[in-house]
Amino acid sequence: MIVAVLGANGQLGSDLVRTASVMDGGLETLALTRKDLDVCSLSAIPTVLSGLECNALVNCTGYHKTDEVEGRATEAFQINAHAVAVMAKVCRARRIRFVHISTDYVFDGESRRPYLETDPANPLNVYGASKLLGERLALREYGDGTLIARVASLFGVAGSSGKGGNFIETILRRGKETGEVRVVNDIAMSPTCTADVARAILGALRQGAPAGIYHLVNSGSATWFEFAKQILHEAGVKARVVPVSSEEYPTVALRPPYTVLNNEKISQFVGELPHWKTALCQYLQEKGHVSIAQSARSAD
C-alpha cells in the first residue's frame, strides 16, 4: 500500500511517514510538503494529485492558528473546507481512500461525557466551523471512501511549525526558567500523541475500516492544568503549577470548555489506543527529557 501524505513535514504528517517506515506489511509513503502542493491554490490540487501513484491520501494540511483564523475566515474556509472538497473529488475519481484530519473543536463543549462521533457538532469559533464544513464537503463528495479523523490537543516529536512547538515543550521551558507555570483548569480535553494517531490511521487503512467519522485520540482525559502537572512530574522538573480560570487568559477565539472524545469506534479496528500518560512518557523519552530508567521508576 502506498499512502500519500499532504503536510508531511508537520507534527502529524512527519509521524505518519516515520511510522509507515517501521510498520510491517509493506507500507510506503509519498511525502508531500507545501513545495509540492500549496493547497491555497484550489486549481493546483487536481493537477498534482492526479499524477500520484498511491492507494490512499491523508490530508494533514490546514489553517490551524485558532485565534488568527478569527480574522481570516475566508482563507480558513478555503483551506480547511473548499480545498478538502477538491481533494475528496479527486480521490473519488481515482477510487483511492481519503483520510481528512479534523478537530475536537467541531463541538461546543456543553457535554459532560466523552463525545461520540454521532453527537451533533456545534463549533464556537471560525476554526471549528471551517473544519466542520470540510468534513461535510468531503463526505458529500466521496461518502463511501472518506475517513474523517478527529484529533485533539496534539503533541509530537516534530512539534507544530505553525504554532511554534507544542504544549509540552512550552511547559517544560517555562517551568525550568521561572519555577512556576499558571495553567487553565476549567478546560478538559484528550491529550494526544501524533505517533499514536499515525499508527491508528495506517492501521485503519490496512484493516479496511469503513468510511465515516472516527475519533483518534489517546485514552483518558485531563484539564490543561492536570496535563501540565503530569508533564513536569514525569520530566522531574521542580516547578509550581498554579490552576487558574480561562478568564485569566482571554483569547480571541472562544474555546469549548469540554472536548474529551470517545475513541471506542476506532479501537474496534486498530485496538485500544494508549492512555495519554503512557503516550506522554514515551514522548519525553524520545525527546530526551527523561531516561527509560526514570520513566520506569515513575511508573512504579
Nearest-5° Cα angle at 148, 147 to 149: 110
- In tens, the pLDDT along 223-236 reads 999 999 999 999 99
* Residue 64 three-state SS: coil
CA atoms of 227 and 127, how far apart (whole Å): 23
- In tens, the pLDDT along 174-201 reads 999 999 999 999 999 999 999 999 999 9
CA atoms of 144 and 95, how far apart (whole Å): 10
| The three grid cell numbers given for residue 172, joined into one nine-digit string | 517544560
Domains annotated on the chain, with CATH: 2-154+192-219+258-274 (3.40.50.720)
- In tens, the pLDDT along 99-131 reads 999 999 999 999 989 999 999 999 999 999 999
Active site residue 127: yes
pLDDT at 297: 52
Q: Which amino acid is at 211?
A: A
User: What is the pTM assigned to this prediction?
Assistant: 0.93
- In tens, the pLDDT along 56-71 reads 999 999 999 999 999 9
Helix (H), strand (E) at residue 243: strand 240-244
Residue 99 has φ and ψ, to the nearest 5°, of: -115, 120
What residues does 155 pair with on adjacent strands?
193
| The three grid cell numbers given for residue 105, joined into one nine-digit string | 473543536
Helix (H), strand (E) at residue 101: strand 97-103
Name the catalytic one among 127, 142, 214, 283. 127
If pLDDT is split at 50, 70 and 90, which confidence band does 293 have? very low
Q: How many residues does the chain have?
A: 300
CA atoms of 272 and 135, how far apart (whole Å): 24
